[in-house]
Structure 1
């Protein structure tokens, strides 16, 4: 799927609002999530139009661990995008699909947090190269 290809008016409008005023890095993550979400729904429902109801029904599948990006930041962004889409189409009601979607999102957020916490610290992340230390020492 081409990142600029329209998906559904309501879907594209939400992404436009999400990208407004955001950094280039975040817009790239949002664009990647948009493509991935639309692709996952299209694979599961190839002949169906992406409606809000269909999206809500697909949310539990969309936030499964296997469908999340590998990096913690990208996974959090993906889950956040799904959450914002749910809020945009769920009308804040207690519809069964909306509640099921919200539960799946809470579970996915917890899973992403656990995955990030379980990663070993990068041994090099806390080391400051000697050349940088030397540059900032008083002479």
Structure 2
């Protein structure tokens, strides 16, 4: 006697509940996580306490690609700290940092670091230098 064998149907696992669980985990981790600022750059520190000084501010124009303009002279950012120390400026001298159109945020940060290495308090002017008409 031959018994008829039943063919077992292959049943694919239902992925609907798996997608729901992954979505719930995603929502949980997004809502429970905190967003921390790893580096902060205080740009308003010198703006509120600006005093009227007798001497005009020293203008440092960030041109991008690692160069700045200091007193009409184009110098690399690496040499900026030494040039500021060589000028023998008082510690309360106002330094205005202006950015040009081609300057990146990294260029601005490098200039601000060079200013602080020279012993000055770094603050950033919020308006950029207007482009020269051609």
Q: Flag whether TM exceeds 0.5 (same fold).
A: no
- Computing the radius of gyration from Cα coordinates, the structure with the larger value is 2
**TM-score normalised according to structure 2 size:** 0.30
> In proportion to residue count, which structure has more helix?
1
* Structure with greater strand percent: 2
TM-score, structure 1 as length reference: 0.29
